[in-house]
A and B are shown apart, each in its own frame.
Chain A
Amino acid sequence: MDDLIREGPILTAILEAGKKPTGVRYFEMAFSGETTEKHRSAEIRIIGDDHSSVELVNSGIDFYTDENFVIQSEGEYDIELNDTEMGLRSSAHVVIPPAIHLLVQELDTVIINDPENTTNHAGLVQWTSPDPDLYSFVVKLENLEQNPIEINQSPTGQFQNRFTGPQLEPFLNLLKSDFQYLGNHKLTVYVIDRQFEQMFFFDAADLRGILQDGPENVKDGNGFVAGVSSFTIEIFIEE
């Protein structure tokens, strides 16, 4: 990348309901053949619609808070940045999606070779549904075992292929073939603002290889601040 033009630095953050702000980074990019990220100092404050606010601490790598500042679902937050050195004031406004609650979980344990259930069906997971015009769901399945053992059947690990995009319906019909490993699994359902879909499922290349641009929502600056709610269930897989 030779004839590049320097633009304003980039702010990123994730405001997840029930947690402290995470992934708060502020950096500029340096270009010398390869792109490198260079951390910048700035005053960063998060202000809630209940007038609660917190100034984040600069760790030298990212920004964090030790205070008991927890993001509330359906809360509205402004994240404000003041870079005195660059004379830059940027901000982002985020609405946290409503909390979702589990309604149905047909499966705690899935037995792959269950003589009473020889079908591929594993079970239904259903949760409460916020406004589908505003929000969608992202589901992630993670094996928690330190030394995971693969299921001795085929096919396996179909989950990633089946849920490649945002889900609009508030339920999942899980199959035995969705799982690749035995043992403890964590299924996380994120509810996200539909604007955030572009980030979750971002692919920089289209089919013909042309570079695509990603989403941004930082005013007077670059970057993205995401708001998200989630819940997690555990599923055990046995032979």
Chain B
Amino acid sequence: MRTSRLIISLIFLLVGSVVSSQTEVIIQEEFSDFRVSDVLQQLGEKYQINFAYDSFQLGKIRGSWKFDGITPAQALKMLLAETTFVFKSLDETYVIYQERAPDTDSDQDQSSEVSAIVSGEIRDSYSRELLPFAVLTIANSSCAVSANSEGQFTIDTALNESDTLEVFFVGYEVKLIPAREIRGKTFVTIYLSETRNFLPDVMITADGVSFLKTGYIPGLHVLNPSALNVTQGTGEADVMRAAQILPGINATQESSNGLFIRGSNNDQTQISFDGFNLYHQDHFFGAFTSVNANTVKAMNIHKGITEARFGGRAAGVVEIIGREGNLNKSAGQVDIGPLSVGAVFEAPIDSSGKSSIFIAARRAFTKVIFSPTYKSLFNTTYNAAVVTSAEKGTQTFGTNDPEFFFQDFNIKLSYRPTRKDFLNLSLYTSRDQLYVQYADSSDKELENPHNISYTDENYKKNAGASLRWGRTWKNDWSSTFVAGFSRFTGSFFSSDSINDLLFQTDSVRFTSELTVLDDFDGRFEVNRKFNGHHFVSGLQVNTISSSMKKNEVGAILNDTTRTGIIVSAYLSEENETNERLKIKPGVRVNYFSKTSLFYFEPRLLIQFELIKKTFDLKASAGRIHQFIQRTQTQSLYLNTPDYWWIAESSGKGILQSDQLMLGFVFHKKNWTFDVESYYKLTEGNILNRSLFGNSNVTVDLPFLIGQGRAFGADFLLSKDVKRHHMVLSYSIMKTEVNFMLYQLKNVPEVFDQRHELKLNYQLNLKRWDFSLFWVFGSGRPYTPVLGTYNFQLPDGEIRKLPVYGKPNSARLPEYHRLDVTAAYHFVLGSTRINIQASVFNVYNRINIRDIQYLTLRTSSNANDFTISKRSLRMLGFLPSVNLKFNF
């Protein structure tokens, strides 16, 4: 209760501080050889005027001005007269931004005929970087077009003289372009300016707000992490944490190892980076994502049924488009966090602005500096994974300091030889490595006659590369070729030195495990517009090879390699002639080499505009097949790396998901209310047997395979007012899986969370950004131990056996936490500096990740033991500070 009052008070304090009336003021000042940014700062402070501007850009312009009894607007006109900047008054704030004429770069149709088809591209006005998935709509009309992943678009709707185009991109200022300015032109380049100070830093566009009007894609959310001045998380900017604001995406796992969508495991969410699939998705055992936020330009998050061009994952797809280099000038960035240091460099390669390079690197300094954030994170994550005894935590600092680091590296080369072609080469590597030793000394020789010294060494890494070539052959058709390769490697080596105190013997036990996964994904796609119909067709080849080698004390326990090839063809159509009803049918046909069978996936996406620009109904239905599942998750305790299992020739292991979604979106003024209800039927669900021990029948796999269903609803309420941005999310869901062969019915999935409520509030005040994130989740399931019973063997000996309850039949306590962040940014010379302080779990809530059962020996007889229950805690109060320098 006290916490709630504190939160409410904080919100009102933040809101109240910016609500002030602005009366007309007269300026009487003189500035000699001043930066524009300094002039604005002084005027703002002295005359209490709100200015919103890019101090980095305006800091580069110097001059002398004399304001002799004039209004702020007149002063701004003088101040910006010799620049490319303009201003306008918005909500008691003078917003200053860079003006670029939309038709600065355009081709005039020599025939002077009015072209019904206009193609073009949308770029950042500062760096000229292309903006993927930007949206164009015609004001007062339902017509809308979405740019592709390369920022290119085609409008084939005839425009009237009075029409106005609205161009959106998350994190950028909305641009209004009169249609008469582009009529008669065959190619248009539109420049958008980044909104650093006067629009919400992250604008999450749910269905029906922007993207339903463009792509008619239910379940789609778009995120622009590059505009993310404020991040929640554990010390590192984290695009997955930002995505967890959305309903239906779990935020209570404290894991950024992919996304857990609508009760599904994270292996059912595909993460594609510039065309290759990411398998190493986290750093620091899930504490934050391995995707460097500095490298991401846009992130499309698809929940549930997607367009036919996507396939292979049952729960959703995260499509990440990496940043391109600055085409105007070289620029750099340095980040210093509590765990790592990172750098970004971008530059044009040639003088004609056709090619650029973008390089980003990040490396942890945790091998040499043990920051409090690092220690806290390490002790929590590692102790949760390694067991010594019930109440004794592992001592990982002090005597045997762990050697841990992570790193990632991105390079992207972009080349546009002509306006019709683009060529991108994207390279990526990442690595996490840990070497740790710890001892478990026995203080009760008779009960536990062993002193054990553990040595664990593990790494996991991912290398990825992709080549993308796209060409616009004509205004109404284009093609894209993408070839991506990804190699994931996971390795564990553990060596336990055991000293037997009774017999005074020493022995060493070691195990090692190495898993390697190669994923090649090639795709050729054609986009064709014809008589108001938009066709997308493509051919995709995905070859996956997964191997595992497992050794134990000289013995080879496992050495297998599995390979599967999935050849997919897809076609979807969208009728763009009906403004109110958008139906997008599609089909995807997969051929799986292991079974030599075809798998059909019909898809249907519908959006109906019931009330113009206000209320849309939406629906989707379809089928998805997943041919690879992660059956073994990295476990420090079990000494196992991730292992991905390719379905067998019998079809065992193929996950099939039939999904139906019905929803609506209401949009009025600054309010958005988005609802999606869903029903999923699945076959091939996996349940790890180690969750509850052995089943009733002997099986050849370490997991059970069943059939299940999931149903629920996601609610999103968002509002943007002035400098305030609020997102309120609520999800309700239920999952049930039957493993009939094993007499198990209605087993909840591991990630079944009945209720999840999230509130994200952001406030931007001149140089300050504030953020608050609160999440509540009802308890997730776990498998309880009920007790033990004795079984008398034929020779009279007694075996004491534990009895596990039904899998996932008990629930963990509810989860909740509050994160707050404050960021301050300013310009020093030509360097923009951002200082961010954040606190994870402000009120130090003790959340439980899982329940672990330990045996406590009561004599030297292995059958004399009691069972102790241990709650694995999640992160507590965790402050961190980050610095960012842009130059």
Residues of A within 8 A of B (CB): 1-7, 10, 12, 14, 16, 22-23, 27, 29, 31, 35, 37, 138, 140, 142, 188, 190, 195, 198-200, 202-205, 207-220, 222-224, 226, 228, 230
A222 to B791, CA, bound (A): 12
Query: Residues of B contacting A1 with CB < 8 Å?
Result: 785-787, 867, 869
Contact present for B794 and A214 (CB under 8 Å): no
Known: A209-B855, A213-B694, A214-B799. 17 other contacts (CB 8 A): A6-B786, A12-B792, A14-B792, A138-B795, A140-B795, A203-B862, A204-B863, A208-B637, A210-B853, A211-B802, A212-B693, A212-B802, A214-B693, A216-B696, A220-B743, A223-B789, A226-B794
A219 touches B743 (CB 8 A): yes
Q: Does B372 lie at the interface of the complex (its beta carbon under 8 Å from any beta carbon of A)?
A: no
Q: With contacts A27-B789, A35-B787, A204-B800 known, is A5 near B809, CB below 8 A?
A: yes
The answer to whether A4 and B743 touch (CB under 8 A), given A198-B694, A205-B855, A228-B794, is no
Would you call B867 and A211 a contact (CB within 8 A)? yes
B residues bordering A, Cβ < 8 Å? Answer: 386-389, 452, 496, 498, 509, 637, 692-698, 743, 784-795, 799-806, 809-810, 852-857, 862-863, 865, 867, 869
Q: Complex Cα distance A23/B797, Å?
A: 12
Instruction: Choose among B496, B498, B791, B799 the residue with the greatest number of A CB atoms under 10 Å from its CB.
Output: B791
In this complex, the member of B694, B695, B789 whose beta carbon has the largest number of chain A beta carbons within 10 angstroms is B789
Can you list 25 contacts pairing A with B, beta carbon distance less than 8 Å? Answer: A1-B867, A2-B869, A4-B786, A4-B787, A12-B792, A23-B791, A37-B789, A199-B799, A200-B793, A207-B496, A208-B387, A208-B388, A209-B387, A209-B388, A209-B854, A210-B387, A210-B853, A210-B855, A211-B802, A212-B693, A213-B804, A214-B791, A215-B694, A224-B791, A226-B793
Do the beta carbons of A217 and B388 come within 8 Å of each other? no
CA distance A214 to B800 in the complex (A): 9
Are the CB atoms of A218 and B696 closer together than 8 Å?
yes
- CB neighbours (8 Å) of B867 from chain A are 1, 211
B800 touches A5 (CB 8 A): no
Let me know if A211 and B805 touch, CB within 8 A: no
Shortest B814–chain A CB gap in Å is 13
User: In the complex, A201→B7 CA distance in Å?
Assistant: 57
**Minimum distance in angstroms from A141 CB to a CB of chain B:** 10
Contact B802 A214 (CB under 8 A): yes
Known: A190-B795, A199-B793, A224-B791. A210 touches B786 (CB 8 A): no
Report the tally of A-B residue pairs with Cβ distances under 8 A.
Answer: 134
Complex formed: what's the CA distance from A208 to B637 in Å? 8
Point out the residues of chain A lying under 8 angstroms from B801, CB to CB.
199, 202, 204, 214, 224
A199 touches which of B791, B804, B855, B857 (Cβ 8 Å):
B791
A54 to chain B minimum Cβ distance, whole angstroms, is 19
Using Cβ atoms and an 8 Å threshold, which residues of chain A touch B389? Answer: 209
**Inter-chain contacts of B698 with A (CB < 8 A):** 195
List residues of chain B with CB within 8 A of the CB of A215: 694
Among candidates B388, B788, B792, residue contacting A35 with C-beta atoms closer than 8 Å:
B788
Complex CA distance for A216 and B386, rounded to whole angstroms: 28
Most chain B beta-carbon neighbours within 10 Å: one of A35, A209, A230:
A209
* 5 closest residue pairs by CB, A with B: A213-B693, A35-B787, A214-B801, A205-B855, A211-B853
Given A23-B792, A210-B854, A217-B696, are A205 and B388 also a contact pair (CB < 8 Å)?
A: no
C-alpha gap A228/B264 in the complex (Å) = 44
Task: Give Cα A27–Cα B867 distance, bound, in whole angstroms.
Answer: 20
Across the interface, which residues of B come within 8 angstroms of A198, CB to CB? 694
- Report the separation of the CA atoms of residues A140 and B793 in the bound assembly, to the nearest whole angstrom: 12
Are the CB atoms of B865 and A205 closer together than 8 Å?
A: yes
**Contacts A200-B793, A213-B694, A216-B695 given: A207-B509 contact, CB under 8 Å?**
yes
Q: Which residue of A lies closest to B791 (CB)?
A: A12
Q: A residues within 8 A CB of B793?
A: 14, 199-200, 226
Residues of B within 8 A of A200 (CB): 793, 799
Task: Tell me which residues across on chain B come within 8 A of A6, comparing CB atoms.
Answer: 786
Q: Which residues of B contact A14 (CB under 8 A)?
A: 792-794
Determine if A210 and B637 form an interchain contact, defined as CB atoms under 8 angstroms apart: yes
- Most chain A CB within a 10 A radius of its CB, from B637, B800, B802: B802
| Bound: A202/B802 CA distance, A | 11
**A222 lies within 8 A of B803 (CB):** yes
Residue in B509, B698, B801, B809 whose Cβ sees the most chain A Cβ within 10 Å: B801
Report the minimum CB–CB distance from A105 to chain B (whole Å). 20
Cα distance A1–B804 in the bound complex, in angstroms: 12
A2 to B785, alpha carbons, bound, how many Å?
A: 10
Shortest B794–chain A CB gap in Å is 5
Which chain B residues border A214 with CB–CB below 8 Å?
693-694, 791, 799, 801-802
Taking CB atoms, residues of chain A closer than 8 Å to B696 are: 216-219
